[in-house]
Amino acid sequence: MSKVTAKYQITIPVKVRREMGILPGTEVDITKEGQKYVLIINPIETIRKKWCGRFKGRPTTMEYMDEIRGKVN
């Protein structure tokens, strides 16, 4: 069981970190699903996979991002 620190931080147990592949710098998100809160690893990748291919015939997500941000070399 984890404890919340004075800075509202928690430690993810070693077993969970290993199973989920969490390393320093890994991006995570916490979302509510019904009565539970769920830890999502790499939320940007999860969102990208969810929406990838939804808009056939239109620019890909990466093409759109390059268009609005400018091409990154």
Interval 27-46: pLDDT, tens: 888 999 999 999 888 766 76
13 Cβ partners below 8 Å, 6+ apart? 2
pLDDT in tens, the chain (73 residues): 889 999 999 999 999 988 888 888 888 889 999 999 998 887 667 667 766 766 677 777 788 888 888 776 6
Q: Does residue 1 belong to any structural domain of this protein? A: no
Domain hosting residue 53, numbered range: 27-69
Q: Does residue 59 belong to any structural domain of this protein? A: yes
Write down the pLDDT at residue 20: 86
Write down the pLDDT at residue 15: 93
Q: Does residue 35 belong to any structural domain of this protein? A: yes
Determine which helix (DSSP H) or strand (DSSP E) holds 28, and give its type and residue range.
strand 28-33
- Name the domain count of the chain: 1
Question: Minimal CA–CA distance to 11: which of 3, 21, 22?
Answer: 3
Q: Does residue 65 belong to any structural domain of this protein? A: yes
Q: Round to whole Å and give the CA distance between 43 and 35.
A: 20
